[in-house]
Structure 1
Amino acid sequence: MTITQKLQQLQSIFQAMDHALIAYSGGIDSTLVAKVAYDVLGTQALAVTAESPSLMLEDLEAAKSQAKFMGLNHRIVHTYEMDNPNYTSNPTNRCYFCKSELHDTLRPLAIAEGYPYVVDGLNADDLQDYRPGIQAAKERGVRSPLAEVGLSKLEVREMSKYLGLPWWDKPSQPCLSSRFPYGELITTEKLHRVGQCERYLRQLGIRNLRVRSDGETARIELPPSEIKDFVASVDLDALVLAFQEYGFIYVTLDLEGYKSGKLNRVLEKTGV
């Protein structure tokens, strides 16, 4: 099936909904959903972004600017997953509690304002990964149009480019809590220091990266093809000093490079 055919299927889904509230993080997936929803429904589509300590300020501002660019009906709400010890203790199903908080916030808003459907940006590839948050969304009746029409991550980017979205090649940017190994307590201060480190690297012009927190150690992950140039061109002494000022004691570079979902490898050993 072609991209234009899948786009027509997406449009048909929203035509049948009439009104829809979109869980809009500003990432490439939910942005595509919001774009198509708005193209079909106009102001009968509402994009809602959840603000919390696990969302970098730059990503919140990007969500706002993208929404303005597309002319979306856009709103910011606050979520309080950091008040839930089931979340902050960082169990293997942490994302379940995150999405529960998100949709327990969005659903009452949707009902109160006459939006019978809440939709998210889950794509077909996400269904093949370990994502406990999917169950939380399903329990609350959330629809996932991208997954329903079988759109892969690559196709999401292809369709975004087809629709003229300037950020079609934007790197994936999951919440900052995904930088912590399961079992490590998540605090607002730890989220902040990881965010500061990633901001430092972004300001060096690096787009696709992760700074993983492992106790007092920061582990930098970059695309494998960029590692040699990074070591050769970056002032490593200045970088280490900056990371230590942000609160880490040790700074390391992952020689394998960045791979999405790397922290889930431990689950394979434990049989989760």
Structure 2
Amino acid sequence: MALARHRDAYDHVVAALRSAGCVFAEDEADLLIEEASDPGALESMLARRVAGEPLEVIVGWAEFGGLRVIVEPGVFVPRRRTEALVREAVAVVGTRAIVVDLCCGTGAVGMAIQGAVSGIELYASDIDPVAVRCARRNVEPLGGRVFEGDLYAPLPASLRGRTDVLVVNAPYVPTGAIGLMPSEARDHEPRITLDGGADGTEIQHRVAAAAADWLAPGGHLLIETSQEQAEHTAAAVVGGGLTAEVRRADDVDGTVLVGRRPHPRGPSGPHVGGG
């Protein structure tokens, strides 16, 4: 009988999710049923999902980089494409490195890097107090520190000129394109986590302009961007005195700009490359 009731619940949830346009209705149904504490909770969670609320917010977590990341209401939900940013960071970070996660949101990027490379010193910052609260739940149990404020402003001054890796998933959706995003993003995630200004790169420019002051010689700046905006992101990074190379990960539809602060004895000037 219990199995029959479970099957009826599953069919009901799948049908409702399909009607709402959820592409992965079966997978989402399994997760909702697993996370619901009782039939009433399941119906409440289903209603929220049908209304367009992100699944990760409803269940309270997202899978990212092989980790379970806490996701609170009002926080940007980690996307799979951002795993490309983590991969590129892991490729250049060493043990005992200082890593700073700017515009950290849930803190997922820093968490994933720390999960892949032992012994790093992790710092993160975000301007949104809701994101900071969530990131502290994710990052601080791992030994990292999270600060509230605008980009570099809240970071300890001792990190200036000593940071080995800066990872940045700043908002990069052009203001005029936000209305074209899926409902679960434009209606249920804070605009501050999406809006990158007129061309989507305004915050990236601010990050790039100050990056050289915070990076150690040979240190890396990694910024998630889009294929369409990569050229503009690269120009901003070069303008900040770094080298710049665009990396593409087709498997997750991710684009990452990898910048590097030259060593004093290194090449005399920055360059732009593609990959």
TM-score range, shorter chain: 0.3 to 0.5
More strand by share: 2
Higher relative contact order (CA 8 A, sep 6+): 1
Structure whose alpha-carbon radius of gyration is higher: 2
Q: TM-score, normalised by structure 1?
A: 0.34
Q: TM-score, normalised by structure 2?
A: 0.33
More helix by share: 1
